[in-house]
């Protein structure tokens, strides 16, 4: 168990429904960063740049994530995902359908972060912060790259938040409700399950106070 306390963390969510239960507890610091990696990054940078705001010892992105199909459903369903490695691979880039400058940073890692959570309810994997939701099955080329870098989760805000935390030298990680398998039915599965799993995740965090 880490010495980091829940009260020392800023929990950043994409929208209010992902932090509503945490927000009701005055001991917990929350921030609604916005949807998508760009909006989340801009808003978190504005927050941290304001000298009047409370400065956390660590930041955790909280919300939901899809799971890539190289991880069997039985290994993640009903559990929570944690990450401290974040990549930014658009699926079209992995399939060589688009080209991006080689100078772009595609990965951030926060190896020194110690999560204040433990137990069999948590699955750790790296997160691909795509900025969009993948609605197709991955090609063999893309799947090989994703699996080769142990990218198990997909989330739209994680990489933007990681980039800002790296800039400000603040330890960063994520804790997700694992809501769906990435692919054609992922968005519909998320719509049906996110509220239930978000409640479970927030209640789990509150249990550590």
Provide the pLDDT for residue 101: 87
CA–CA separation, 98 and 109 (whole Å): 25
Q: Which residues of the chain have pLDDT under 50?
A: 1
Domains in the chain, number: 1
pLDDT of 118? 87
pLDDT at 1: 45
Is there a domain that residue 1 lies in?
A: no
**CATH code for the domain in which residue 178 is found:** 3.40.50.1580
Q: Could you give the C-alpha distances from 107 to 37, 95, 124, 143, in angstroms and in order?
A: 14, 18, 17, 17
**C-beta of residue 133 within 8 angstroms of C-beta of residue 153:** no
| CA dihedral sign, ordered 180, 186, 190, 193 | negative
Q: Does a structural domain hold residue 80? A: yes
The residues facing 10 across adjacent strands are: 29, 59
Q: Is-contact 88 109, C-beta < 8 A?
A: no
Instruction: Find how far residue 113's CA is from the centre of its chain.
Output: 14
Contact of 33 with 157, CB cutoff 8 Å: yes
The pLDDT, as a whole number, for residue 46 is 98
Q: What is the mean pLDDT of the chain?
A: 95
> Is residue 38 situated within a structural domain?
yes
Q: What is the predicted pLDDT for the residue at 44?
A: 98
Residue 12, domain member (yes or no)? yes
The rounded radius of gyration (Å) of the Cα atoms in the chain is: 16
Domain that residue 39 falls in: 6-207
d(CA 121, CA 197): 13
């Amino acid at each position: 168990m880490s010495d980091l306390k829940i009260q020392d963390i800023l929990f950043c969510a994409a929208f209010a429904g992902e932090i509503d239960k945490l927000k009701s507890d005055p001991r917990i610091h929350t921030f609604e960063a916005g949807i998508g990696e760009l909006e989340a990054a801009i808003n978190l940078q504005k927050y941290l740049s304001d000298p009047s705001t409370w400065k956390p010892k660590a930041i955790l992105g909280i919300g939901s994530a899809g799971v890539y199909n190289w991880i069997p459903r039985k290994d993640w369903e009903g559990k929570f995902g944690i990450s401290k490695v974040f990549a930014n691979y658009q699926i079209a880039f992995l399939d060589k359908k688009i080209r991006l400058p080689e100078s772009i940073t595609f990965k951030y890692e926060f190896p020194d972060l110690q999560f204040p959570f433990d137990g069999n309810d948590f699955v750790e994997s790296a997160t691909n912060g795509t900025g969009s939701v993948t609605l197709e099955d991955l090609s063999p080329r893309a799947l090989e790259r994703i699996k080769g870098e142990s990218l198990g989760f997909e989330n739209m805000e994680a990489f933007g938040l990681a980039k800002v935390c790296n800039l400000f030298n603040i330890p960063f990680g994520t804790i997700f409700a694992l809501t769906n398998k990435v692919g054609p039915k992922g968005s519909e599965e998320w719509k049906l399950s996110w509220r239930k799993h978000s409640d479970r995740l927030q209640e789990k965090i509150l249990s550590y106070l």
